[in-house]
């Protein structure tokens, strides 16, 4: 089979990323232009600002990706872009740009689900990895556990019923007056805290579900902070961060252990922005000693074009290209 070069565009949130990947596994370039410094002053992502910034820089990022890959546009076989979920304006920038590029070059186009991109990020890091395996997707917008039965074939095991784990990290960080993004700052403060100093409750459902819930934990931590502030009691931020982080990871571990007991298997891929948390990595690797744990490098944990290219490659082989009528789906479920 002829090599396939995929040029992919990821603009679902506040990173403008363009990547060029060969055969779904080999990264030729993966350029990411982050907007963290821009949104930091607002304490979170402002959708309108993110969209305008994508428009300003997307041509530049495409040029840089081609230059690093040492190829020309005509060498590309397939144009891919994220179509959801994400911020509607941000998604539109990348998807419409990809369609225009596809039409102008007379190259096939394919839309990619952002979550499927995260799942595929492990294929770029671990060349030997192939389905079946279990995949935990944890980010600012998602907490999902799936069985990856085959390339492009998924069985959903569990998902959050309310807040995503990364969203709760960010909200608690904001309450503690830590800068955006909150997750890395929670982790940084937690290193100097006592994770057993505050007992925060773990959410439980009455039914037999393996679904996650983080709204209760979020409320407990916020109430603890509010009560101490009301009573003018100094808060030890390090202890709050450490205790919250431990509880949040405990909740993941307990549900995934149950999932392995039910579904079996010996491989777990942990992907998405929260998977770059070193404490989480160490806890999982020490707890699941009989499971092969796959976690991508930090640059592949965050939103990036390379993961979209990998997902696009396997999706194209299985289902072919997308039609130009494909529109963004900011709230699409997986």
The per-residue DSSP string of 253-285 comes to HHHHHHHHHHH--SEEEEESGGGG-HHHHHHHH
Q: Given this model, what pLDDT does residue 169 score? A: 96
**Same domain for 178 and 273?**
yes
- Residue 26's SS3 state is strand
Per-residue pLDDT of the chain (334 residues; tens, 9 = 90+): 689 999 999 999 889 999 999 999 999 999 998 766 665 666 667 777 888 989 999 999 999 999 999 999 999 999 999 999 999 999 999 999 999 999 999 999 999 999 999 999 999 999 999 999 999 999 989 999 999 999 999 999 999 999 999 999 999 999 999 988 889 999 999 999 999 999 999 988 877 899 999 999 999 999 999 999 999 999 999 999 999 999 999 999 999 999 999 999 999 999 999 999 999 999 999 999 999 999 999 999 999 999 999 999 999 999 999 999 999 999 998 8
Number of compact structural domains in the chain:
2
281 domain residue, yes or no = yes
Kindly state the helix (H) or strand (E) to which residue 101 belongs, with its residue range.
helix 88-105
Tokens representing residue 95 in the block: 């998807």
330 domain residue, yes or no = no
**Same domain for 149 and 263?**
yes
**Same domain for 68 and 151?**
no
Which residues lie below 8 Å from residue 56, measured CB to CB, with a gap of 6+?
none
**Same domain for 158 and 284?**
yes
**Same domain for 72 and 142?**
no
CA distance 101 to 54: 16
Q: Given this model, what pLDDT does residue 270 score? A: 98
Domain that holds residue 100: 5-122+301-319
**Same domain for 29 and 89?**
yes
Q: Given this model, what pLDDT does residue 2 score? A: 86
249 domain residue, yes or no = yes
Which residues lie below 8 Å from residue 44, measured CB to CB, with a gap of 6+?
170, 174, 180
Q: Given this model, what pLDDT does residue 14 score? A: 86
**In whole angstroms, how far apart are CA 312 and each of 72, 155, 191, 265?**
20, 19, 38, 26
**Same domain for 68 and 106?**
yes
Helices (H) and strands (E) in the chain, counts: 11, 10
325 domain residue, yes or no = no
**Same domain for 307 and 268?**
no
Kindly state the helix (H) or strand (E) to which residue 171 belongs, with its residue range.
helix 165-175
291 domain residue, yes or no = yes
Which residues lie below 8 Å from residue 239, measured CB to CB, with a gap of 6+?
193, 194, 197, 198
């Amino acid at each position: 089979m002829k090599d396939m070069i995929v040029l992919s565009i990821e603009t679902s949130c506040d990173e403008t990323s363009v990547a060029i990947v060969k055969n779904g596994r080999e990264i030729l370039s993966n350029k990411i232009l982050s907007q963290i410094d821009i949104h930091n002053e607002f304490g979170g992502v402002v959708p309108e600002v993110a969209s305008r910034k994508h428009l300003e820089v997307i041509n530049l990022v495409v040029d840089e990706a081609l230059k690093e890959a040492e190829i020309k546009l005509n060498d590309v076989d397939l144009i891919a872009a994220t179509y959801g979920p994400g911020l509607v304006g941000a998604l539109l920038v990348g998807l419409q740009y990809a369609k225009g590029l596809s039409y102008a070059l007379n190259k096939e186009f394919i839309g990619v689900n952002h979550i499927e991109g995260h799942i595929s990020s492990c294929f770029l890091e671990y060349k030997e990895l192939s389905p079946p395996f279990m995949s935990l997707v944890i980010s600012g917008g998602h907490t999902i556990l799936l069985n990856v039965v085959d390339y492009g074939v998924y069985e959903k095991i569990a998902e959050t019923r309310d807040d995503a784990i990364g969203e709760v990290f960010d909200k608690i960080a904001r309450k503690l007056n830590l800068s955006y993004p909150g997750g890395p700052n929670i982790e940084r403060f937690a290193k100097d805290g006592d994770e057993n100093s505050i007992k925060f409750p773990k959410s439980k459902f009455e039914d037999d579900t393996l679904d996650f819930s983080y709204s209760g934990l979020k409320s407990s931590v916020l109430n603890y902070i509010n009560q101490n502030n009301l009573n003018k009691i100094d808060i030890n931020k390090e202890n709050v961060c450490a205790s919250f982080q431990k509880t949040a990871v405990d909740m993941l571990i307990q549900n995934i252990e149950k999932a392995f007991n039910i579904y079996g298997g010996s491989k777990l891929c942990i992907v998405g922005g929260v998977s770059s948390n070193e404490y989480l990595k160490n806890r999982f690797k020490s707890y699941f000693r009989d499971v092969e744990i796959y976690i991508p490098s930090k640059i592949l944990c965050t939103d990036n074009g390379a993961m979209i290219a990998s997902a696009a490659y396997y999706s194209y082989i299985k289902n072919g290209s997308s039609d130009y009528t494909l529109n963004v789906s900011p709230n699409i479920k997986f």
